[in-house]
Structure formats: structure tokens, C-alpha cells
Amino acid sequence: MSWVTCSFWSSLTLQVISDFDMTLSRFGCNGRRCPTSHNILDNSRVISEDGKKKLKDLLHYYYPIEIDPNRTLEEKRPLMVEWWTRAHDLLSQQKIQKGDIAQIVRESDVMLRDGFNELFDQLYKYNVPIFIFSAGIGDVLEEIIRQANVFYSNVNVVSNYMDFDDSGVLKCFKGPLIHTYNKNNSVLQGTEYFQQLSGRTSIILLGDSMGDLTMADGVPSVENILKIGFLNDKVEERRGKYLDAYDIVLESDETLDVVNGILRYVLLET
Ligand code: TMP
Ligand code: MG
């Protein structure tokens, strides 16, 4: 069934599944890149100069691989595990204090996409659950949405969470590791989240990576799915693949206007 058959969409059967970094958060502002949840920590005052350099070297090596349209997902997967493992090991050596995270986020350049207030407010008002499925750092992204005053009770997050020792110092990351290309049911075992929402058979999926397309794989009975993709980087090279995989592809759009327009239509009609 086509997603356009809007009479089948309603606030009672709808759920939103979204990536976080570079999907709910902005990719750029005034020609400058905005940070991912990892970059927020990497660039912060709590990381040593040596740690910063090593994290940056990893980014420069692995990010082009992550977005390379000419490599298969099978090729990329082990390399992403390598990147995340090495980055998390480096961060775990930096004696990051749990109590510093809020200030680190406040001092960062992170920005949510324009229109985030309307998105979160509408979903809360109409009791529509939003599931944020992120390969970023859960503690950091939760703090971002808390500081933006939109961490409502209908917002659920699955991500990589930090594990602190008794004195509140980061010792490692909790498993299972989530990277760009394993965002599927394999890392949701035991969460029961989608099973509890079995009546929510219409999905709006938001992502910016080809890896985000599998985020709804654990939903038991999907009747309608509308996949909206933000194509942020290497636009010319990747456009073809994005147009094949996503229903709507947004280029050079740092807003959530299209998503909000569709939601307004679905929620106000029903
Ligand atoms: P997302 O799934 O919420 O978009 O988060 C994953 C992004 O995080 C992915 O695009 C790559 C990025 N990333 C960093 O910026 N630095 C890092 O050290 C790692 C491991 C990932
Ligand atoms: Mg992303």
C-alpha cells in the first residue's frame, strides 16, 4: 500500500523512528560542519591534545569509508566496528566525568535542525511514539534533547551508553555496540520496544545514512512506511542510491519542515 493513501494513516497507528546525528541534529551551519555526539566529546576540554589528535585521525580515515557509495555494506561493517571500538577505547582512557557531560554539551556547537520544537511538540501532543535509534553516544544525545526541552515521555532512545565507575568516571561503553551499519533488530534483542507498539503499523523513518534504512526491521507488522533521507554530504556521488532507497530525499535542507508538513497533514486529518 502506498504511503500516500493518507486515510490509512492516523495518530493512533503512527510511530516515528529516527536516527539522531545529522538527521535530528544539523549537518552544517553557515558553511561550517556541526558536531556529531561523538565529536562533541572529541572537541571538548576534557580530552587531551594527544587524544584529540588520535580521534581526529580515526575520523579522517574511517568517515570517507562510512559514506563511500562504491563499497558494499559487507565491506564496511567490520571497518565500522573497528572505528567505533578504537574511538570508544580512546574516550575511555580520558577519565571523562559523568557530571561534566551537561556542561560539555552546553559549550558545544551542536544544533538541532530548525523545526525540532514543532516535531517533538506535535508528536507528544498526539501521543505518537518516537524512537531515536543512534550509533552516537546516548548520554550525550539525551543531554542535547533535555537541554532543548523536548525530552518528552514519548521519546525513547537506543544508542551507545557510557559505563561509569562508582566515582562517576567513564570506564567503558555498554554493549551491544551500535554502529552505522548494524541498526536493525540484532541490537534490539530483549528491548521489546517494537512488540509493545504492535498497533503502530504506519512508520515515518528519518535517516541520513544508507544504514538507517534498516532501523524499522524489528517492527512486527509494517503496513505503511515512509522513508525520508537527508542527503548531507557527497551529494552528487550518492544521489542515485538515495533516490532508489528513500521515498523522499532532502538536499541542502537543514530543517525539519518537510517532516513537519507531512505530520501536520496526518495528525490534523485524523
Ligand atoms: P548516528 O547513527 O546517530 O547518525 O551516529 C553515527 C555517526 O557518528 C556516524 O555518522 C559517524 C559518527 N562518528 C563520529 O563522528 N565520531 C566517531 O568517533 C564515531 C565512532 C562515529
Ligand atoms: Mg546519522
Indicate which residue's Cα is closest to atom 17 of ligand 1.
Answer: 38
**Residue 35 Cα to ligand 2 middle (Å):** 11
Contact 217, 227 (CB under 8 A): no
Active site residues: 19, 21
* Cross-strand partners of 230: 250
**Residue 126 Cα to ligand 1 middle (Å):** 31
Q: Does the pLDDT at position 5 exceed 60?
A: no
Instruction: Write down the pLDDT at residue 233.
Output: 97
Instruction: Write down the pLDDT at residue 1.
Output: 44
**Which bound ligand lies closest to the C-alpha atom of 160?**
1
Mean pLDDT (whole number) for 59-64: 98
Choose between 132 and 9: higher pLDDT. 132
Q: Is the CB of 87 under 6 A from ligand 1?
A: yes
Q: Is the CB of 38 under 6 A from ligand 1?
A: yes
Average pLDDT, the chain: 95
The grid coordinates of residue 102 equal: 551537561
Which CATH superfamily is 6-269 part of? HAD superfamily/HAD-like (3.40.50.1000)
Contact 228, 205 (CB under 8 A): yes
Mean pLDDT (whole number) for 70-77: 97
What's the pLDDT band for 191 if we cut at 50, 70, 90?
confident
The grid coordinates of residue 224 equal: 505503511
What's the pLDDT band for 77 if we cut at 50, 70, 90?
very high
Instruction: Write down the pLDDT at residue 119.
Output: 98
What's the pLDDT band for 23 if we cut at 50, 70, 90?
very high
Q: Does the pLDDT at position 122 exceed 80?
A: yes
Q: Does the pLDDT at position 4 exceed 60?
A: no
Classify 26 as helix, strand or coil: coil
Classify 142 as helix, strand or coil: helix
Q: Which CA distances in Å does 78 have to 106, 181, 183, 208, 235? A: 34, 9, 14, 20, 25
Mean pLDDT (whole number) for 115-132: 98
Mean pLDDT (whole number) for 132-140: 98
Distance from chain centroid for Cα 154: 16
**Domain map (residue ranges) of the chain:** 6-269
Q: Is the CB of 59 under 6 A from ligand 1?
A: yes
Can the peptide bond before residue 220 be classed as cis, meaning omega within 30 degrees of 0?
no
Q: Does the pLDDT at position 3 exceed 70?
A: no
94-108 residue pLDDT tens: 999 999 999 999 999
What percent of the chain clears pLDDT 90, i.e. is strictly above it?
A: 93
Q: How many residues does the chain have?
A: 270
The residue among 148, 25, 173 whose CA lies nearest residue 93 is 173
Instruction: Write down the pLDDT at residue 87.
Output: 98
Q: Does the pLDDT at position 7 exceed 60?
A: no
Angle at which helices 49-66 and 73-92 cross, to 10°: 170
* Cross-strand partners of 206: 18, 228
Instruction: Write down the pLDDT at residue 158.
Output: 97
